[in-house]
Amino acid sequence: MKKIIALLTGGTTGEWVVSVKSAATIAQNLDPDKFEVYKIMLTQQGWFYEPADSVKIEVDRNDFSVNIKGRKVKFDGVFIAIHGSPGEDGKLQGYFDMLGLPYTTCDALTSAITMNKGYTKAIVQGIDSLHVAKSAQIFKNGPYQLDQIKKDLVLPYFVKPNNGGSSIGMSKVTNQYDLKDALDKAFQEDSQILIEEFIAGREFTVGVVKLDGKITVLPVTEVETAKEFFDFEAKYTPGVAKETTPAPIRAETRLRVEKIAADVYQKLNCRGVVRIDFILKGDESDFYFIEINTIPGQTATSFIPQQVAAAGMKLNDFYTKLIRETIG
């Protein structure tokens, strides 16, 4: 008996473009023998199933169903492929929890907390062998002193929207006089900002997922870019960044990274597939946590598909196991 799956894409932030591409990859790799898939587009204008060009069937949000030619289609579960709000910040998860409908991502609480970079760092801080950069968290309408921040933190620093994704609104500040402009840019994206000391080192990212009942850490990717940092352009423009999967790191480093990544996954009570960005200082020494993405990109060039391939798995099998683990 095929499972009826809603593949939810779109969103209400600038990341919707990436979300649509992620959903296309997922749709191509969901086994048609096992799943009957309905792609649902969520936008500011509404939630729609679009079976063909210029046809839009509105979703009944009372029970998250669609009516197709008089037939009411209800879903066994939802594959959420929305990056940013409302897919990654817990809003949709809370809605589906109330409907009793299972989904492929972290739960509402974990999604909401991990969307906030400052709160996430506070939770993971106590994990063995994990370090976090010194930072200051400020609020748009709250009191903050630029002079105090400049005293407390050592240049250069990163200024980023606390709840943003895809590096939108992010700046690297190398001169203290540029801090105000960087804050203005970040405040256009969010009402909370994280100002973080720059950590020099090699940048990596790693997918973590629970499959067949056990936490699996995928092969690590090293990210190198000629740009100041791994920004939106570097992430989504071919050739701007060099990505190496599996990363050229020592066997003992890999084991340590796998242990820390699995500990982060557990500490934050994650489910589904997540991606952890981190830096290794010096000669593969200290592990610095940057952030976690609870709905990582699944585009053809995204890290997770790269890492799944490096692990010797087909995306088709990966998504089948992911749905079985989270939806049943």
Question: Which position has the higher pLDDT, 294 or 118?
Answer: 294
For domain 3-104, give the CATH number.
3.40.50.20
* Tokens linked to 324: 């079985």
Q: Is the pLDDT score of 93 beyond 80?
A: yes
Homologous superfamily of domain range 113-131+200-313: ATP-grasp fold, B domain (3.30.470.20)
> Cα separation of 94 and 107, whole Å?
8
pLDDT class of 143 with cuts at 50, 70, 90:
confident
Same fold, 3-104 and 113-131+200-313: no
Integer Cα distance of 247 and 226 in angstroms: 18
The predicted structure's pLDDT at residue 102: 98
Residue 31 pLDDT > 60: yes
Average pLDDT over residues 246-263: 98
CB burial class (10 A; 0-12, 13-18, 19+) of residue 176?
Answer: middle
pLDDT at 165: 53
Q: Over the stretch 94-103, which tens digit does the pLDDT of each residue have? A: 999 999 999 9
Does the pLDDT of residue 167 top 70, yes or no? no
Q: Where are the domains of the chain?
A: 3-104, 113-131+200-313, 135-197
CATH of domain 135-197: 3.30.1490.20
**pLDDT: is 132 or 117 the higher one?**
132
Structure tokens at 294: 């609870």
pLDDT at 37 over 70: yes
Give every CB contact of residue 316 below 8 A, 6+ residues apart in sequence.
29, 30, 31
Q: Which helix (H) or strand (E) holds 320?
A: helix 315-326
Contacts 24+ apart (CB under 8 A), 182-185: 183/138, 183/159, 185/159
Give residue 191's pLDDT band: very low, low, confident or very high (50, 70, 90): confident
User: Cα Rg for the chain, rounded, in angstroms?
Assistant: 20
Indicate the helix (H) or strand (E) that contains 150.
helix 146-152
Which of 246, 278, 248 has its CA nearest to residue 263? 278
Say what percent of the chain tops pLDDT 70. Answer: 95
Average pLDDT for residues 129-151, to the nearest whole number? 90
Mean pLDDT for all residues in the chain: 92
Q: Does the reported pTM lie above 0.85? A: yes
pLDDT value at 166 more than 80: no
